[in-house]
Structure formats: C-alpha cells, structure tokens
Amino acid sequence: MWSYGVTVFILLMGYMPFSGTEEQQTNAIKHGKWKKKEKEWNNISPSAQDFISSLLVVDTKKRLSAEDALKHDWMAKRAHMNDDMKHVDQSVADNLVSFGQASHFRRACMEMMAWSLTNDERKEVRDAFLELDTDRSGAISMQEFKKVMIDKFHISDQKAQEAFEALDTSHHDEIHYTDFLAAMTSTRIRMHDDLLKATFNRFDTDNSGFIDKEDLKKVLGEAFEGESIDHLMEEAHAHDGKISLEDFVAFMHGDDAGEHHHEAANKLIDKAITHPDHAGGRERKLAAKSTKTKEVSTKASGGSCCSVM
C-alpha cells in the first residue's frame, strides 16, 4: 500500500515524492518525509490529498489497508471524474490520426522523444490519456479508442484503425502511455531545442555528432514496426549514411519549417558546440556543420518527404 501511495503521488503530482542522493531518499522514506510542492498539491482535490496522506504513512497500523483504500471517497467517485472528456479535443484526435499516417522514421523519433519529456510536458496531455482510458486499466483498448474517435470526432473506421495500429507498439491491442505521449509530441507538446537535442543524443549512441545505421540498430533493433533500418535511413534522407544534428532538426520540423528551422537549427547547433559534453572532435564536426544550416533549411522547406501526412 505504501508503493501504491507513491505511484498515486507521482501520477497526480507529476514528480517523485522523494529526492536527493540515495542516502537522503532512504532516510526520507524511513521517516515518511515526502516532498510536497504547494502549487501542485493545491491543484488536486482535498479528497485526493487525503488519499495520498493516508497511504504515505510509515506506521502500518495507521496506513490505509487495501480494503479501506477501495472505500475511500476519492476511489469511490473516480469512475465519474472524466465523463465529460474536457481534455480530449479535436487537436488530440488529429494528432492521433496524423501519427498513424507518419513515416516510420518520424514515428521512431517521436517514440524516442516521449522518453525525453519533462514531468510538466507529460502533465499537459496526461488528463487526455486518462479520459480515453475509460475502464482505468492503464492502457487504451481498441474499443475505447474507436468509440471516441468515431462517435465524438467522426473519424472513419479505417483511419481510426490505422492510428490505433501505429500506436499499439507492443501489439497487445492496447495503447500505452508512452505511445500516446509520442503522438502528442507533434503539436500538443512543443518540439523545443532541448527536447530535439536530447532525442538526437539518445540515437547518437557513440557520441559522434551523427546518427548512422549502427546507432539506429542499437536503439531500435534490426527493424522498427516491420521496416528495416535501411528503409528508415532512406526516409530520413541521410547524407552519406549519416544524419547530422541539423538534418534531424530539419526532418522533425517538417516541410513547413522555413525560416523557423533556420533559426532553430542555428540556435541548437550553437548550444551543442558550447556544451561541456561536446568536446574535441565532436565540437569541430558540429562547428563545421553549422555553416551549412542554410542549405539544410532550404531542403527542409522544399522536401515533401518531411511532412507528417
């Protein structure tokens, strides 16, 4: 029940209840001293506050039992909290459908990007996921997904099916939270400089300043959603078998990037050059590449292959 309390805390508050070094966290856990940020704490209902406070209690005799937790007011009323679907709007539906029609490499990038999101960015779309998960199973079933997409937004059964299959990365006929976050990175969550760079670095496993075929294999395996790594490199329009930082930025911004990409790429590359982690040869490669951003921007704005649709 303590672990359950920690899980509920993270879901509702958006951050871990204990922080610091391992020793500091262990000491805080032993004494039941969890971190309560007033802004986030005041954003949840008094009933939810009481529920968490009744679970994160060191004394097991005073802590809620499983039976008592189920009877708690916050649990008893949970099934009706999201009936009106305030957070699932047309933009959410559009993002889910667009994700289903995106190239395999773009979907791979967005899946990786989901792992680089901050707690605050995840919170922007968390409620939408919870509203779609009507049976509170922790995943969105095909029936739940289609009901909302077809009944509420009048999306065709075929497009809804395509979107669901693209999001069902585990192939268990359900959409998990990380998959949902990946779809939301297209517009609901802004693809800012730090997020793009963090995602690029997750692929650049050898810290060479480029993503090549071997990098993708290490991260994605021999294939992604049934498509070979060679196919993904073709979709990314890799130059000489490599994807540079600015190439990656251009691809993720798509064919409507225009001047915005030119500015974003320059800013991102400058930041990468001056970052202490990027020393020696990698700095020189990135510095040399930064002079070519105008050419990359032109390619990004003229190539329809970079579009989500």
pLDDT in tens, the chain (309 residues): 999 999 999 989 988 999 889 899 999 999 999 988 888 999 899 999 999 999 999 999 999 999 899 889 888 776 555 555 677 778 888 888 888 888 889 888 988 888 878 888 787 788 888 888 887 788 899 999 998 888 888 888 988 888 888 888 778 899 888 888 888 876 656 778 888 899 999 999 999 999 999 999 999 998 888 889 999 999 988 878 999 999 998 888 874 333 333 444 444 444 444 444 444 444 334 444 444 444 444 444 444 333 333
Q: Long-range contacts made by residues 117-121, C-beta under 8 angstroms, separation at least 24? A: 117/181, 117/185, 117/189, 117/195, 119/14, 119/15, 120/14, 121/189, 121/195
- Which of 207, 295, 209, 214 is CA-nearest to residue 250? 295
CA dihedral (22, 26, 28, 29) positive or negative: positive
Q: Helix-strand-coil percent breakdown of the chain, rounded to 5? A: 65, 5, 30
Give the whole-angstrom CA distance, residue 248 versus residue 255.
Answer: 13
Here the tokens at position 82 are 């999201």
- Which of 175, 144, 18 is CA-nearest to residue 82? 144
Q: Which residue blocks in 189-306 are alpha helix, DSSP H?
A: 193-203, 213-220, 229-235, 245-253, 258-274, 281-289, 293-302
Q: What is the DSSP letter of 21?
A: S
Here the tokens at position 122 are 């995840």
Q: Domains in the chain, start-ordered, CATH in brackets? A: 2-80 (1.10.510.10), 90-101+117-184 (1.10.238.10), 193-306 (1.10.238)
